[in-house]
Structure 1
Amino acid sequence: MKKYIGELKTHPEALFVLGYMLFPLLALVVAALGFFMVLGGHKIFGLILLLVPAQIFIFSAVWAINNRKRLLEEK
């Protein structure tokens, strides 16, 4: 598994899919779920969803975009 994840770092196409499609979509879904949890009365769990997993997906997207840019500049 680590081998395949390590190989993902060398393919700009995979990083494009992760950085511009998958991670932002997951961040949006988790943020919407957290927002609806807050509106529904589950404030603590909703805030946890807004602050932890959504931010992880956002930073992962930024990481993938930066690695993709670095790979394209090297080629």
Structure 2
Amino acid sequence: MKESIKALKANPEALFVLGYMLFPLFALVFAGLGLFLIITGSKIVGLILILTITQLFAFGSLKAVGTRKRLLAEQDTGTGR
């Protein structure tokens, strides 16, 4: 399991999919679900979704994009461009 996570962190294409597509989509879905729960009366659960789960996906997206940019910069300097 640890080896596959390390391989995922070293692959810019996988980080692109996570950082620009999946994590923002999940953040949007959970934010919408949290808003729906707040409107329908489940305020505590809705706030938990918005304040924790949505933020985890948003910050995870930023971290994946930053890691991808760092990997691409290392590849560019390593090839002599």
Matched, 1:31 2:31: yes
Matched residues in 1 for 2:53 and 2:5: separation? 20
What residue in structure 1 maps to residue 57 of structure 2? 57
Question: 4+ runs of 1 displaced by more than 2 Å?
Answer: none
CA displacement 1:29-74 (0-9 Å, x = unmatched):
0000000000001001000000000000001000000000000001
Residue 42 (structure 1) aligned with residue 42 (structure 2) = yes
| AA in 2 matched with 1:52 | T
Q: Which runs of 5+ in 1 are unaligned?
A: none
Structure 1 residue 6 corresponds to structure 2 residue 22: no
Q: Please say which structure displays the higher CA radius of gyration.
A: 2
Using the aligned pairs only, state the percent identity. 59
TM-score normalized by the length of structure 2: 0.91
Q: TM-score, normalised by structure 1?
A: 0.98
Partner residue in 2 for 1:21:
21
RMSD: 0.5
Gaps of 5+ in 2: 76-81
Equivalent position amino acid for 1:60 in 2: G
